Amino acid sequence: MKRLIVAMARLVPSSLKVLILLCFFSSTVSFGIPIPYVPGLPKVYDIENAKNVEVHQLFPDWEDTSAYGFRPNCLDFSLPKILNSAMDWSDPNAYQIKNDKELYVAKVSNGFICPGRLGTVFDYEQEFLFRIYTNPQYPLFWPIEGDISRSSVAQYPKLATAQGPTLFYHWLLDRMPSIFLLKDVIQNDPEVKFIINPYQGRVPGYVHEYLDLLGIPSDRRIIGNGAGLYFAEEVYFATPFLVEPIPQKLLHAMRKTLIKASEQRPISRTYQDNLIVVIQRTERDRQIENIGALVQILKTKFSSKSSSKQYEVVVFNANTSISEQIQIFNKARLIIGVTASGLSNIIYAKKGAHVIEIHPEANMAGGGAEWVWWLASSVGLHYWVVPARFALSDARVTCPIQDIEKILQKIDL
């Protein structure tokens, strides 16, 4: 069989030879491993109800033991309802933030990972789905539907994964906390490979940049094949998250690690601790239409010769390395952006910085739309919300310049 593989390699370009040989010698692809009928398996929504699963490691020091949070700042006292109309923003007890989840790394014996369902894990006794924090009637991860018993299976001794999509917000604020919990397991055991679950068939470059900053070796990463399954005698995963407040001490520990690692990486220039960052998306939706006017107002107020302190206005469009992005937001005193994933970078801002979120004016029912406020509260930022008339699918957003000017009169950088 090995002679056949080597012979095949002679027929393909040299750039593919290493990949073919690595796939053959680093794992075993098998059609002989029996695969259970997953739709018929019991569903696990709480790790305490799982069968034959070892809690490999606990992190009680990073769990939330007390609540925190301040009422969002806004020009109209009733405006926080646009973040979540179901919340009573007049009651201080209603907007206290606390995530009661236990933080752990779990080990499943003889487990499977299904990249085609963004990494859903199952074994012969159960499928691990958990529940969405803000909508607990729904599963957090994608259930496997239909018969997958004829799927190819790549077999490894030990695997780890963080289930779910790799879109920027979800990667940074949902996946990365879980990977941070898994970090020691991966780094300390050379047999453990980490599976990245592609979303819509691709893995963005920032995924690998973030794994580099966490110290996850590149030769231990596997980009999952969405058409197949992965099996290991030991499968590791950590407490899962999806659009929810991350336990504050865990978030701060991850933040500190990433900032420190970014400081060791080369960036294009040095930034002073005086930045005003305006986020302008490069995607096809939610671009600030009148960004020139917004930037001019900021420069007039904070960068003119008459200003008591000189600030640099930076239009951020995510065209730099992740390390440089971290440094930009860490040096920011004011951050302005439309509701979008770019605002997840406020995790790196220093305590006391200001954030202005331009938010859809339509009231948001349920939970999750207040995530920028959650994050700002956790990091210790002054958060402002200002409404604008747009939908999340709109290509352009008109920034409410007059409202921004009123807020600027109220804040002290």
Residues 133-183: pLDDT tens digits? Answer: 988 999 999 999 999 999 999 999 999 999 999 999 999 999 999 999 999
Most confident among 21-30, 82-91, 384-393 (mean pLDDT): 384-393
Q: Tell me the pLDDT band of 273, cut-offs 50, 70 and 90.
A: very high
Where are the domains positioned within the chain? 1-27, 31-61+99-260, 275-410
Residue 285 has pLDDT above 80, yes or no: yes
Q: Tell me the pLDDT band of 84, cut-offs 50, 70 and 90.
A: confident
Nearest by Cα to 172 from 383, 356, 345 = 345
Residue 9 has pLDDT above 70, yes or no: no
**Percent over 90 (pLDDT), the chain:** 82
Over residues 256-267, the mean pLDDT reads 98
| Count of all residues that appear for the chain in the document | 413
pLDDT given for residue 368 in this prediction: 79
How far is C-alpha 313 from the geometric centre of its chain's CA atoms? 26
pLDDT one-digit tens code per residue, 104-143: 999 999 999 999 999 999 999 999 999 999 889 999 999 9
Computed over every residue of the chain, the mean pLDDT equals 90
- Lowest-pLDDT choice from 8-12, 251-255, 319-323, 363-367: 8-12
Over residues 182-200, the mean pLDDT reads 97
Contact present, 276 and 313 (Cβ < 8 Å): yes
Contact present, 334 and 373 (Cβ < 8 Å): no
- Lowest-pLDDT choice from 113-127, 336-350, 361-375: 361-375
pLDDT given for residue 31 in this prediction: 55
Contact present, 386 and 359 (Cβ < 8 Å): yes
Distance CA 314, CA 207 (A): 24
> What class is the 275-410 domain?
alpha beta
Residue 29 has pLDDT above 70, yes or no: no
Q: Tell me the pLDDT band of 303, cut-offs 50, 70 and 90.
A: confident
Radius of gyration of the chain measured on its C-alpha atoms? 23
Residue 3 has pLDDT above 50, yes or no: no
Q: Which two tokens stand for residue 292?
A: 């020139």
Q: Position 372: which residue type?
A: V
Residue 259 has pLDDT above 70, yes or no: yes
361: three-class secondary structure by DSSP = coil
pLDDT given for residue 23 in this prediction: 37
Distance CA 197, CA 166 (A): 7
pLDDT one-digit tens code per residue, 202-251: 999 999 999 999 999 999 999 999 999 999 999 999 999 999 999 999 99
Contact present, 239 and 178 (Cβ < 8 Å): yes
Got the DSSP string for 378-405? HHT-EEEEEEES--TT-SEE---HHHHH
Q: Tell me the pLDDT band of 61, cut-offs 50, 70 and 90.
A: very high
Over residues 191-208, the mean pLDDT reads 96
Place of tokens 């921004």: 404
